[in-house]
Amino acid sequence: MRRVLAVMAVILFLSSALALARDDEALRSGVDLVYLTNYLDRMDLKYEANEERSAANLVMVGDHGKYDTYVIADPSTALAFIVIGDYLTVPAEHRNCDKVLRELMKLNWDLNVGKFEWDPSDGEVRFTFTFSTENGVGFEAFEAVFGTLIHTADEKIEALQKILVQD
């Protein structure tokens, strides 16, 4: 009986050690900030990396504006985000808030890539995309989504700003 218990204890110990090793390997091979900034480098984009926040900050320039853009890696949740922050400010009490929010919802319905989000506490509208990084992120997909977000943001900003200032 002792021998069976000893063998079971060894098996349990080894299986636990292997599971921990696999978890450590998953964290090491996951998509992190370095992984994503390598893609930004390949795209010849200028950015500031903030390792503490696991984010890269960029200013993207389009025909109709400049866009504060963030690329964020979260290996613990196996997610990566591209965020265009402070895209538009629509305070909840603004006279055209409902009109702008309706337009954002229409855009969300029509868009294949990205979604608009509104923070009612401060009125910030951001434009985002979330990648699952469970199986990695391919460069071509990342580049296509990044470019599409910037293009879409630039294409839609003037119409949204017009709705905001309408009487």
Q: What is the pLDDT along the chain (167 residues), one digit of tens a residue?
A: 554 444 444 344 444 444 444 444 444 447 999 999 999 999 999 999 999 999 999 999 999 999 999 999 999 899 999 999 999 999 999 999 999 999 999 999 999 999 999 999 999 999 999 999 988 899 999 999 999 999 999 999 999 999 999 98
The DSSP element (H or E) to which 141 belongs, if any, is: helix 139-165
Residue spans per domain, the chain? 1-29, 31-165
Best CA proximity match to 125, nearest among 94, 102, 91:
91
pLDDT at residue number 21: 42
Phi, psi of 105 (to 5 degrees): -65, -40
Q: What is the pTM of this model?
A: 0.80
Q: Note the helical H segments in 50-138.
A: 97-110
pLDDT at residue number 30: 79
CB atoms within 10 A of CB 160: 19
CB-based contacts of 123, cutoff 8 Å, min separation 6: 89, 90, 91, 92, 94
CATH architecture for the domain at 31-165: 2-Layer Sandwich (3.30)
- What the block records as the tokens of 111 is 């868009």
pLDDT, tens digit (0-9, with 9 covering 90-100), for 81-94: 999 999 999 999 99
Instruction: List residues bridging with 128 in a β-sheet.
Output: 83, 115
pLDDT at residue number 18: 42
